[in-house]
Structure 1
Amino acid sequence: MRDGLQAYCRECSAEYYRQRQAAKGRTVREKIPVPRGSKRCPQCEEVKPHDQWEQNKSSSDGWASYCRSCRAERNRESYFRRKYGLTEAERDALRAETKGLCPICLAAPAVHVDHDHETGKVRGVLCFSCNAALGQFKDRPDVLRRAAEYLEGKVWKPILEAPGVYRLPS
Structure 2
Amino acid sequence: MDSSISKACTVDGCDRPRISSLHCRLHHDRFKRTGSTDDPYPEVIERTCIDCKVIKPAAEFSKKGKGKWGQQKYQSYCKPCENERKRARPLTRDQEERQKEYRREWGRQNREKRTQQMAARRAANPERYSWQSYKNHLWKKYRLSWDEYEQIFVKQGGRCAICDQFLSDPRKRPAIDHDHETGVIRGLLCDPCNKGLGHFRDRLDVMRRAVTYLENAKSKTVPIYRYEFMQTKRNCGQ
Q: TM-score normalised by the shorter chain: which range applies? A: 0.5 to 0.7
> What amino acid maps onto 1:58 in structure 2?
E
Tell me the residue number matched to 2:199.
Answer: 136
RMSD, aligned α-carbons:
3.3
The alpha-carbon deviation at position 72 of structure 1 amounts to: 1.7
Asked whether the equivalents of residues 62 and 78 of structure 2 are also in contact (C-alpha less than 8 Å), the reply is: no
The alpha-carbon deviation at position 82 of structure 1 amounts to: 0.8
Q: Matches of residues 33-44 of structure 1 in structure 2 within 5 Å?
A: none
Q: Distance in 2 between matches of 1:81 and 1:134?
A: 23
Tell me the residue number matched to 1:28.
Answer: 79
The answer to whether structure 1 residue 125 and structure 2 residue 201 are counterparts is no
The alpha-carbon deviation at position 61 of structure 1 amounts to: 9.9
Gaps of 5+ in 2: 1-42, 47-56, 65-72, 82-109, 169-173, 218-238
Q: Structure 1 vs Structure 2: percent identity of aligned residues?
A: 30
Tell me the residue number matched to 1:100.
Answer: 158
The alpha-carbon deviation at position 92 of structure 1 amounts to: 1.4
Gaps of 5+ in 1: 1-6, 31-55, 155-170
Q: 1:27 to 1:75 in 2, by over 3 A?
A: farther
More helix by share: 2
State the structure with more CA Rg: 2
Between 1 and 2, higher relative CO (CA 8 Å, sep ≥ 6) is seen in 1
Q: Matches of residues 2-151 of structure 1 in structure 2 within 5 Å?
A: 11-15=57-61, 17=63, 20-22=74-76, 28-29=79-80, 58-59=112-113, 62-64=116-118, 66-67=121-122, 68-109=126-167, 111-151=174-214
> 3-state DSSP class of the match of 1:120?
coil
The alpha-carbon deviation at position 120 of structure 1 amounts to: 1.2
TM-score (norm 1): 0.58
Q: How many residues align?
A: 120
